[in-house]
């Protein structure tokens, strides 16, 4: 199905300090609290055409049952995807050590259903020389170290974002297959910058372990490293999902799924590389992502494995403050 969507987007960035003070580095104030946010009100008009005719043979992994109906209803909508407001700060514990925290919440300007503190929120320690340790709920390094340009800074949750193409399976809608998610119950280490290099390593668990001979331990490891020098920026990231069943939870019929078979385990992984070039007011970016979904199914007709490679080329330019 082909989709056509027109959006009028207005982006506004807030960078207000609650104490009217800014963090001026390690030699700054002993304590700072900052309020920040981004607002993306949009007027959107979706429309669709070219739906596959009923009875047409398609890939069996997508269920093979097109109805021929166009499910996209043409209408005018207001959206506020990815709008957020937050507070972050630090308290000096010593000359080279700080306690750090952040609390970030969804901010829907078009409705009254904003959910409190569902975005990146954490507490931790920051060292001038050794980096940061954080505990909480955060985006993974895989998500933050690639697909860097984005449109108006929107990385997901919007039709202008590319995450559903780059970082999910080519079928199904369940988020278990996504390598572009905010994880809960995380421990993350962020390194300082050495000779242009910096990186991050994160562990998270779903806290949904099972017991017995075929116990499951759903958890995620995500890591990335980046280098910047002159006009060039490079990054490489890798992420592994254990027992999240990104393949089985996206198959079209339950008979193909291993999710409820305790004898089956899953290991999904993805690797991404990014190259970015800055040239005057222009930034060019290339992203390449390889995803693999594997389950040790023993029954015929069950999901076993799936591989997908996705790429994109981006160009961003800022001619002046208005354009």
pLDDT per residue over 167-204, tens digit each?
998 888 899 999 999 999 999 999 999 999 999 999 99
pLDDT for the residue numbered 82: 81
pLDDT for the residue numbered 4: 46
Average pLDDT on 279-283 reads 93
C-alpha 258/C-alpha 295 separation (Å) is: 8
Structure tokens at 308: 């997908």
pLDDT tens readout for residues 99-139: 999 999 988 887 777 777 788 999 999 999 999 999 999 99
pLDDT for the residue numbered 51: 67
Picking from 72, 252, 238, 120, the residue whose alpha carbon sits closest to that of residue 174 is: 252
153: pLDDT strictly greater than 80: no
1: pLDDT strictly greater than 70: no
Residues whose CB is less than 8 angstroms from the CB of residue 193 and which lie 6 or more positions away in sequence, other chains included = none
pLDDT for the residue numbered 59: 66
pTM above 0.75, yes or no: yes
Q: In what order do the strands lie in the sheet with 2-9?
A: 2-9, 42-49, 77-79
Residue 62 — very low, low, confident or very high, per pLDDT cuts 50/70/90? low
pLDDT tens readout for residues 295-313: 999 889 999 999 999 999 9
pLDDT for the residue numbered 21: 37
Residue 220 · residue 244 · CB < 8 Å: yes
Name the pairing type of β-strands 131-139 and 282-295. Answer: unpaired
pLDDT tens readout for residues 229-264: 999 999 999 999 999 999 999 998 889 999 989 889
CA distances to 66, 129, 233 from 252, rounded to whole Å, are 12, 50, 40
C-alpha 303/C-alpha 172 separation (Å) is: 13
Q: What are phi and psi of 173, to 5 degrees?
A: -125, 0
Partners of 321 in the β-ladder: none
3-state secondary structure of 322: coil
Mean pLDDT of the chain: 84
C-alpha 186/C-alpha 174 separation (Å) is: 21
Number of Cβ atoms within 10 Å of the Cβ of 192? 14
Average pLDDT on 3-20 reads 37
Compare 238 and 164 and report the one with higher pLDDT. Answer: 238
DSSP codes joined into one string, 38-98? EE--EEEEEEEE-PPPTT----GGGTS-------PPP--EEE-TT-EEEEEEEEEEETTEE
């Amino acid at each position: 199905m082909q989709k056509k969507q027109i959006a009028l987007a207005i982006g506004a960035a807030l960078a207000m300090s609650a104490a009217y003070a800014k963090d001026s580095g390690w030699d700054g104030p002993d304590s700072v609290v900052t309020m920040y946010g981004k607002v993306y009100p949009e007027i959107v008009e979706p429309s669709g055409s070219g739906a596959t005719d009923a009875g047409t043979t398609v890939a069996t992994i997508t269920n093979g049952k097109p109805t021929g109906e166009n499910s996209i209803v043409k209408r005018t909508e207001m959206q506020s995807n990815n709008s957020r407001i937050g507070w972050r700060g630090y308290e000096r514990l010593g000359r080279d050590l700080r306690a750090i925290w952040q609390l970030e919440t969804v901010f829907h300007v078009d409705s009254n259903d904003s959910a409190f503190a569902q975005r990146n929120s954490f507490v931790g320690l920051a060292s001038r020389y050794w980096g940061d340790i954080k505990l909480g709920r955060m985006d993974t390094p895989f998500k933050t170290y690639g697909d860097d340009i984005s449109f108006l800074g929107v990385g997901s949750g919007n039709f202008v974002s590319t995450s559903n193409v780059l970082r999910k399976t080519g079928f199904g809608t369940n988020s278990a297959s996504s390598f572009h998610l905010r994880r809960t119950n995380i421990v993350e280490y962020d390194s300082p910058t050495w000779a242009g290099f910096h990186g991050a390593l994160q562990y998270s668990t779903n806290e949904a372990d099972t017991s017995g001979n075929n116990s499951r331990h759903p958890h995620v490891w995500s890591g990335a490293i980046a280098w910047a020098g002159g006009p060039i920026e490079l990054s490489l990231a890798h992420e592994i999902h254990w027992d999240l069943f990104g393949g089985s939870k996206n198959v079209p019929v339950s008979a193909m799924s291993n999710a409820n078979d305790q004898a089956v385990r899953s290991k999904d992984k993805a690797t991404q590389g990014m190259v970015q070039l800055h040239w005057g007011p222009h930034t060019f970016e290339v992203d390449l992502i390889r995803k693999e979904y594997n389950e040790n199914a023993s029954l015929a007709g069950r999901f076993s494995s799936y591989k997908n490679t996705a790429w994109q080329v981006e160009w961003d330019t800022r001619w002046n403050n208005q354009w």
